[in-house]
Structure 1
Amino acid sequence: MGLEGHRIDVVGLTKTFGTTKALDDLTFSVTPGTVTGFLGPNGAGKTTTLRCLLGLVAPDSGTATVDGRAYRDLDDPIRTVGAALEASDFHPGRTARDHLLVMALGAGLDTGRVDAMLAQVGLTDSARRRVGGFSLGMRQRLALAAALLGDPRVLILDEPANGLDPAGIAWLRGFLRALAAEGRTVLVSSHVLSEVQQTVDEVVVISRGRLVRQGRLEDLDTGPSAVLVRTPTPDLLRQALAGAAVEALPGGALRVSDRSTAEVGHAAFASGVELHELTPEPDDLERLFLDMTGEGAAP
């Protein structure tokens, strides 16, 4: 049986710091049972939005609520919302276990959850190590354990993949999906789409404090896939593909962006051009993301 989920609603959120408008009439929602990626380039306003949602920043106008209520009005906030905004808010001389134990005692939680959460995030063997000696990836895991300490229905994570190695990112992906499958509401911010592309179900994309796109990840229109080609005679292939959009890539490969694999292969065969590679390029979601947020083409 799933948990009772809580919806996140951001409505007309506006915040200015001095002469900088960090948020500009931002509106979006996050539903239970999904992992939602909160995406945008650095400086887009993601962290400011999350801080407004957690009552750490007062907006100039608009609202940010969980289950229709501001964070300060929640009856039991630590059991409702778990958040990790940065992986550096630890006393360096305190062990990982003691950090969670202090949190549990201060919040009136069952201290038995401390060891359970350390095990859940893979830190059992490091429980009695001082946090000052932790890598960034280990700090990320400890921050996640702290966010889960109250068994919250809503989880808010700011750049949780930062500092994780590929194995850690794969672990995080499965972990967050399992939490959403229980009916929890999971909101994960990132400025790199590829980090969360295999994790999230929904996306909220912002740029310069404004909403750019909201919807299911699978509904993002990436356009037709390109074809990557390698040949010892690229000039002959260009002639065979007269009128096609052909781009030279480092290493001698060509990228054909307006022809299918079959069309490129047939043109090469008909012209007697030897091919060493002919592969479809995956949909370039990262490039689309950069285009949507006005950050230019992917490098």
Structure 2
Amino acid sequence: MTASSAPPRTPARLSVRGLTKHFGTVRAVEDLTFDVSPGHVTGFLGPNGAGKTTTLRMLVGLTTPTAGTATIGGVRYTELTDPARTIGVALEASTFHPGRSARAHLQMFAPAAGADAARVEQLLALVGLTGDAHRRVGGYSTGMRQRLALATALLGDPDILVLDEPTNGLDPAGIAWLRSFMRGFADSGRTVLVSSHILSEVQHSVDDVVIVAHGRLVHASPLAALAALAVRTVTVDSPDRAALTDLVTRRGWASEPAGAGAPGALRLLHVRAAEIGAAAFAAGVELHLLTEDAPGLEDVFLRLTGQTTGVAA
């Protein structure tokens, strides 16, 4: 993104402290606390319904918290003197007037963001919509609407960018472009907070992760630290399952049923296949299956959020 001619600014930290939101008896967000640092891309992750969008809406003053605070550089969004220049937000890609063109949409919001006609054209080019800028947004695909939402968020050339599920509707090339853009934005010293319900969509572009489930924080760390929570497993089976179970008990290995993928087999935790094979050979236990599974970050994410077979729809 081309830098503006405005004087340099010091990017602000996003801080959430004890943030809570109840809708009647529904506890959408409960006592949530985390920080988002300048120069980082932070993934805000959790299943659909985990409270991510509600949290982001409280951050930008669209929803009033039941308790706690969400601040930008120590102040609430409603107290910012120049919000469009401080934080750009793309929460939904479906709130455009269907009869208005992309160019007209940006031109309408440009004055409030301090942007001129040249900035509008620059952003249309940046998000790849120049050729379709004259078309009515009602005829846009979901991915094109996502690009227009990003362009709208960038009108004020903000220091902070907040994106809610921005890869929805994007093709692989669009996702790769967005990753590169977020990386460059953060590398310039600015701040990105991007939400997703699928870790694999953002794991190649984020530095830090904040994971929520049922409105509560379940994990916050640099992405690299998330891998330390991975549980290595080995799936094992024997024609003599009683002998295998006895061996597992005597060795003190943690185990669980392997599930539908290998009915009747065992999944052993925190142990290597070589150790199991050697112990089985020494004990005279014949093995018909010995498969080591290297856990990925997605496995850790699913375990932290209480999911077992995939991300909830």
* Contact 2:11-2:159 within 8 A present in 1 as well: yes
Q: TM-score, normalised by structure 2?
A: 0.80
Is residue 284 from structure 1 mapped to residue 296 from structure 2 by the alignment? Answer: yes
Is residue 190 from structure 1 mapped to residue 201 from structure 2 by the alignment? Answer: no
Distance 2:288 2:301 in 1: 35
Q: 2:94 aligns with which of 79, 88, 93?
A: 88
Provide closer, same or farther for how the CA distance between residues 97 and 185 of structure 1 changes in structure 2, counting only shifts above 3 A.
Answer: same
Count of residue pairs brought into register by the alignment: 291
The Cα offsets for residues 254-285 of structure 1, whole Å up to 9 and x where unpaired, read as 9975554666898999999999xx99655322
* Contact 1:65-1:71 within 8 A present in 2 as well: yes
Distance 2:50 2:148 in 1: 26
Is residue 75 from structure 1 mapped to residue 87 from structure 2 by the alignment? Answer: no
RMSD between aligned residues:
3.1
Distance 2:99 2:235 in 1: 52
Describe how 1:225-244 pairs up with structure 2 within 5 A.
Answer: 225-226=232-233, 243=248
* Contact 2:302-2:308 within 8 A present in 1 as well: yes
Note the C-alpha offset of 1:183.
0.8
Note the C-alpha offset of 1:224.
4.5
Give the match's secondary structure for 1:297. Answer: coil
Name the counterpart of 2:307.
Answer: 296
Name the counterpart of 1:223.
Answer: 230
Distance 2:215 2:260 in 1: 35
Q: TM-score, normalised by structure 1?
A: 0.84
Describe how 1:139-150 pairs up with structure 2 within 5 A.
Answer: 139-150=145-156
* Contact 2:40-2:190 within 8 A present in 1 as well: yes
Note the C-alpha offset of 1:222.
3.4
Distance 1:94 1:118 in 2: 15
- Structure 1, unaligned runs of 5 or more: none
Distance 1:289 1:265 in 2: 29
Note the C-alpha offset of 1:107.
3.5
Describe how 1:82-161 pairs up with structure 2 within 5 A.
Answer: 82-161=88-167
Note the C-alpha offset of 1:21.
1.5
- Structure 2, unaligned runs of 5 or more: none
Letter in 2 for 1:288: V
Identity over aligned pairs, percent: 55
Distance 1:167 1:174 in 2: 11
Provide closer, same or farther for how the CA distance between residues 255 and 133 of structure 1 changes in structure 2, counting only shifts above 3 A.
Answer: farther
Letter in 1 for 2:298: E
Note the C-alpha offset of 1:69.
0.9
